Amino acid sequence: MAGEPQTDCLFCKIVSGDIPATIVRESATTVAFRDINPQAPTHVLVIPKVHYPDAASLAAAEPQIAADVLTEAGAVAADEKIDSTGYRIIFNTGSGAGQTVFHAHAHVLGGRGLQWPPG
């Protein structure tokens, strides 16, 4: 059923605690943890606790939780003190855009100069 935990999903296992992560924030609906392969001094992933394969399907089914992910992404940026220097919130969507984990997640990247357009 949509939104239910998926047994083969890495990020569902982080939500359940079956796989460890360096959690930096948690809310009723979201978890934020450090990316295992950071691409910037701050690289945190914010995920909904419910399982949807990407950001658009999350927003279509659970718009309030999609908003919670964005609110928490902003809170991470403030916690990490990158809100004053600038940061990026990224939702890779589809394998052609580099998505490798099909549980919706926001990347929060900052702490270094960020090129535009991204590669």
CB distance 47 to 55 below 8 Å: no
**Smaller CB distance to Zn ion: residue 51 or 107?**
51
Kindly state the smallest distance separating residue 11's Cβ from Zn ion, in Å.
Answer: 5
Instruction: Output b/e per residue, 15-54; b: 16+ Cβ within 10 A.
Output: beeeeebeebeebebbbbbebeeeebebbbbbbbbbbbbb
Whole-number Å distance between alpha carbons of 80 and 36: 17
Footprint of Zn ion on 90-109 (CB under 5 A)? 103
Kindly state the smallest distance separating residue 29's Cβ from ligand AMP, in Å.
Answer: 19
CB distance 69 to 58 below 8 Å: yes
Does residue 49 belong to the site contacting Zn ion (CB under 5 A)? no
Catalytic residues: 105
Binding mask 17-56 for ligand AMP (x = CB under 6 A): --x-x-----------x-xxx-------x-----------
The residues that touch ligand AMP, with contacts defined as CB under 6 A, are 10, 19, 21, 33, 35-37, 45, 92, 98-101
